[in-house]
Structure formats: C-alpha cells, structure tokens
C-alpha cells in the first residue's frame, strides 16, 4: 500500500520548503521510499497524489537489483573516476 506525507521545514535562507515522502509498505516493513522537495505546498501535495496513484496502478518501478557487498566493492575499485589509495586496495 502506497502513501505519502508532507514535511515542512525552513531552508537556510528562511524560505519554507515542503518535502513529500512516498512510502510503500508490505506488512509493517517499508519496501520502497522516494522523496522530493518543493517550494509550494500545493505542488508537493499534487506530486504526492500523482506518485501514489502511479505506484498503485503500475507498481514500484525502481532500477534496483540484488547486489552483493562484494560486487559493490569491486564496482567501487573498478571505477576509473575513483582515486583509490594503497590502503583501500588489498592484495
């Protein structure tokens, strides 16, 4: 079951921001969570309603797949943009 909540907070500039958090629960466990921040409350509510409707109609479509910790570490080490020092690389 999908639902959304709106959280109001003050930005560093003093302006109000509204964060919409969409959650999908299965039993008591949260299986999916997504959030976006807006400057207007009405926009936040509209996005929350639309996203919940879309999730309930089409299901959760996230590109997340099951990956082991070892695969994540190897991907990190193989990334050419990452400057890995000798202490992070073990033989």
- Which pLDDT belongs to residue 49? 96
**What mean pLDDT is reported for the chain?**
86
pLDDT greater at residue 3 or residue 86: 3
Q: Is the pTM of this model over 0.75?
A: no
Domain ranges of the chain: 2-78
pLDDT tens readout for residues 33-65: 999 999 999 999 999 999 999 999 988 865 667
pLDDT (0 to 100) of residue 86: 65
List Cα–Cα distances, 65 to 26, 29, 71, 72, in angstroms. Answer: 18, 18, 12, 12
């Amino acid at each position: 079951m999908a639902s959304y909540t709106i959280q109001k907070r003050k930005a560093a500039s003093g302006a109000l921001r509204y964060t919409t958090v969409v959650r999908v629960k299965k039993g008591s466990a949260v299986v999916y969570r997504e959030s976006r921040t807006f400057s207007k409350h009405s926009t936040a509510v509209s996005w929350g309603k639309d996203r919940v409707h879309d999730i309930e109609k089409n299901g959760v479509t996230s590109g997340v797949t099951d990956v082991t910790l070892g695969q994540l570490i190897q991907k990190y080490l193989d990334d050419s943009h990452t400057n890995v020092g000798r202490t992070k690389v073990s033989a």
